[in-house]
Amino acid sequence: MTGITVTPSSQYPFGCRIDGIEIGRGIDDASFRVVQEALHRHLVVVVSGTPYDAPRLIEFGSRLGPLEISVAKSFHHGAYPAVTVLSNRTLDGKPEGASDAGQMWHTDMSYNRIAGRASVLHAHQVPFRDGKPLGDTAFRDMHAAYESLPSDMRERLDQLEAVHEFEKIWTQMRARPGSTRPPYTDAQRQQKPPVVHPVVLRHPWTGRKALYVNRGLTQRILGMAPDESSQMLEFLFGHSEHPRFEFRQHWRVGDTLIWDNCATIHLATGGYGNDTPRVMIRTQVLGDEARYRHANGELGNRALI
Ligand code: SIN
């Protein structure tokens, strides 16, 4: 393992890029350890290179853990259900992939009983205007969001739990003008019932605390009257979405972005039309039950049915 460098972002308070590896060609164990350590330390990792396809993405993602099979089945990548296609193109009159994925603040897989570990997103086509890439992905550091709260509030939040549900983001995205999402189905509801997580998650790999609520998927805080819960969540969403906690990915074709889902929220910023194709492939890495339970006790380990 020679010539690998990890460079923290100079523009944002977190995030890094790694040079000297090519995910498309496969990476050795020592290089993988560099990626994993960088992920824990910097939360978002950018690796550039030449575009590669679903099997390579699966091979790389699986090194971080077992992969999620998305409930949005229509956008699975052909024979590879662990890979979702995000695309604004149509092929033979049909959408090639999800065209509105992630266009509100959220944390991937907070709708799972065990908080999701990471996501890996790889760019095949990036829209440009006037020489500038469009369709950035924006992130917020939820360790920093938690640590910047007053201590009395942190102490209170440490005791709270919240309900997360996939249906929330689906319904909100579907209500947007022009959405082509079909109605949420009973089958999806059964596959992803509401779950409970601590409002403050102890990171299962690093032990550091992070705020763990997000606008897309967090429904309510347990044990609070509906108004109080809404007010508290609205405050926490606004606080955590503030640009002072930002990292932003300006995409180039061949980039791979790996992010930590226990300590970040993210947003697909959109801002391009269907005349400028954006095509990405994504895989999502599930959490580790034993680590999650060890870090967070019984909290979050019961489904709310
Ligand atoms: C996502 O939320 O997984 C998609 C992000 C993006 O397309 O920029």
The answer, yes or no, to whether any atom of ligand 1 lies below 6 A from the CB of 123, is no
Closest-CA residue, ligand 1 atom 1, reads 102
In the chain, the domains with their CATH numbers are 5-303 (3.60.130.10)
* High-pLDDT (> 90) share of the chain, %: 87
| Residue of 280, 281, 283, 285 with the most ligand 1 atoms within 8 Å of its CB, for mutation | 280
Position 70 scores a pLDDT of 87
Q: What is the pLDDT of residues 145-190, one digit of tens each?
A: 999 999 999 999 999 999 999 999 999 999 998 888 889 999 989 9
**Ordered DSSP codes for 10-53:** SSSSS-EEEES--GGG---HHHHHHHHHHHHHHSEEEE------
95: tokens are: 């959408």
- Ligand 1 centroid – CA 152 distance (Å): 34
Could you tell me which of 137, 87, 115 has the C-alpha nearest to residue 257? 137
The CA-atom distances, in angstroms, between 216 and each of 29, 239, 254, 296 are 35, 15, 28, 22
- Per-residue model confidence (pLDDT) at position 297: 79
Q: Whose CA is nearest to atom 7 of ligand 1?
A: 268
**Contact at 8 Å (CB) between 215 and 104?**
yes
Burial classification of residue 128, based on how many CB atoms lie within 10 Å of its CB (0-12 exposed, 13-18 middle, 19 or more buried):
middle
pLDDT in tens, 21-72: 999 999 999 999 999 999 999 999 999 999 999 999 999 999 999 999 988 7
Note if the pTM is more than 0.85: yes
Indicate if the pLDDT at residue 303 is higher than 60: no
Query: What average pLDDT does this structure show over 69-91?
Result: 92
Residue 81 pLDDT greater than 60, yes or no? yes
| Alpha carbons 201 and 118: distance in angstroms, whole number | 15
The CB of 102 under 6 Å from ligand 1? The reply is yes
What count of Cα atoms within 13 Å lies in the side-chain half-sphere of residue 114? 18
- pLDDT for residue 1: 53
Residue nearest to atom 6 of ligand 1 (CA): 268
Q: Ligand 1 in contact with 86 (CB < 6 A)? A: yes
